[in-house]
Amino acid sequence: MPPPTAHMGIYIDRPAQDVFNFVMDLGRTPEWRPRMSGAEWITPGPPGVGSKFRVSAKALLYTFNFELEVTEWDPPRYFAYVGKQGPVSIKSFMEWLPDGAGSRFFLGGEPEANNWLVKILRPAFEYALLKQNLADLDRLKTIMESSKDKKSVV
């Protein structure tokens, strides 16, 4: 996979396992990623390679309803997935690395355009994705670090 177009990370003053548990509780996704109106596992049982999940996300005035498939699963360290909806395909990952008493959380995505119009709009889509991901990371950090009872977010 080429380097992700929208790759970024942030330090969170919480153990990697706590951040992983919160992020992978897909029902809580809209709390830290408000452009996503919903996310849920659709494959029964514990998640792993081949598991599927669904997300609804808004980007550039359009709502995407992706069915995504896990391609790599190494909890609580790494999670990668792929999906396609209409003219847009995406390859994304999330990574959690211990860092002292806290952790570094990274996410990245590589959108692919499957028609000429989406190819023309790709730079705007990538810019919007980058901007949204930065805001999402800041929101996640605030949620994870602001709870008086830190167990309440995991």
Per-residue pLDDT reduced to its tens digit, 77-133? 999 999 877 777 788 999 999 999 999 999 988 777 676 666 676 676 677 677 888
Residue 22: inside a domain, yes or no?
Answer: yes
Residue 38: inside a domain, yes or no?
Answer: yes
Residue 71: inside a domain, yes or no?
Answer: yes
Instruction: Report helix, strand or coil for 66.
Output: strand
Cβ 94 vs Cβ 105: under 8 Å: yes
Q: Write out the residue range of the structural domain in which residue 13 sits.
A: 8-147
Per-residue pLDDT reduced to its tens digit, 6-38? 678 999 999 999 999 999 999 999 999 998 888
Amino acid symbol at 143: I
The answer for 51, left when phi > 0, alpha when psi is -120 to 50, beta otherwise, is beta
Residue 153: inside a domain, yes or no?
Answer: no
Cβ 54 vs Cβ 66: under 8 Å: yes
Residue 70: inside a domain, yes or no?
Answer: yes
| Size (the chain), residues | 154
DSSP state of 93: E
pLDDT at 46 over 90: yes
How many other β-carbons are positioned within 10 Å of the β-carbon of residue 101? 8
CA separation for the pair 136, 140 (Å, rounded): 6
Structure-token pair, residue 131: 């901007």
Torsion (CA) 141, 147, 153, 154 in degrees, nearest 10: 90
Domain count, the chain: 1
Residue 23: inside a domain, yes or no?
Answer: yes
Q: What is the CATH number of the domain that holds 83?
A: 3.30.530.20
* pLDDT tier, 5 (very low <50, low <70, confident <90, very high otherwise): low
Residue 2: inside a domain, yes or no?
Answer: no
Residue 140: inside a domain, yes or no?
Answer: yes
* pLDDT tier, 1 (very low <50, low <70, confident <90, very high otherwise): very low
